[in-house]
Structure 1
Amino acid sequence: MELEQLLQAMTPEVFQRISTAVEIGKWPDGTLLTPAQRDAAMQAMMIYQSRYNTEAEHMSVAAGGEIKFKSKAELKRDFGVEEPPAPDDIARFDHDQL
């Protein structure tokens, strides 16, 4: 199959099914992926992501083919983790008080 044919045939739903199969090692019907199928599926996922992934997750291929790394702050925001407020009170001592 040519690359353009593959990309035209792969809908977001097909991409998700392939992604899930690669993650769990099984096709939706329960059949195990062979190593060759896993490799081909991963390549297809990366090609699809490099073309259409405009909102790349951490450590995934973004549109344009670049690997997307998110900062710690971006990941916390994505997962809804709020930073605790900085304490208002700081203990201060003069040098002779220590």
Structure 2
Amino acid sequence: MNEAVLARMLDVLTPDIVANLKRAVELGKWPDGKRLTREQLETCMQAVIVWEKQHLPVQEHSGYIHKEQKEGEVCDDPSVVEKPVKFLH
């Protein structure tokens, strides 16, 4: 999508419009029952993602998954050595 068109579209979006776009993407169709074209689907998704990034905290973005870190758990610890799994018959 042309960046200028997307920028103009984002200027007029309201929370209600974004909710309607999200619903259309979820269902794959407009409220009148007409299916979204591939281009419409992509445009709606882009608009929702950009709008959410500009207006909502990360934990409220579509698709956000909160992962709690367990006490003492470190994901990127270089001292952790991977061990191969052995299957016993």
Q: TM-score, normalised by structure 1?
A: 0.56
Does residue 15 (structure 1) correspond to residue 18 (structure 2)? The answer is yes
Residue of structure 2 in register with 1:35 after alignment? 38
Distance verdict in 2 for CA 1:58–1:4, change over 3 Å: closer
Separation of aligned partners in 1, 2:32 and 2:25: 13
CA distance in 2 between counterparts of 1:59 and 1:15 reads 11
Query: In terms of Rg, which structure is larger?
Result: 1
Contact 1:26–1:33 (8 Å) recurs in 2: yes
Q: Point out which structure has higher relative CO (alpha carbons under 8 A, 6+ apart).
A: 2
**Sequence identity, in percent?**
32
Letter aligned with residue 37 of structure 1: Q
Q: Count matched residues.
A: 66
> Which residue identity is paired with 1:71?
K
The structure with the greater share of residues assigned to strand is: 1
Larger displacement relative to structure 2 (7-16 or 50-59) = 50-59
Counterpart secondary structure, 1:33: coil
CA distance in 2, matches of 1:48, 1:59: 11
The equivalent residue for 1:6 is: 9
Q: Report the CA distance between 1:58 and its aligned residue.
A: 7.0
- State how 1:1-98 maps to structure 2 within 5 Å: 1-54=4-57, 56-57=59-60, 60=63, 68-71=64-67
Contact kept? 1:25, 1:32, Cα under 8 Å: yes
TM-score, normalising length from structure 2?
Answer: 0.61
Distance of aligned partners of 1:58 and 1:18 in 2 relative to their CA distance in 1, 3 Å threshold: closer
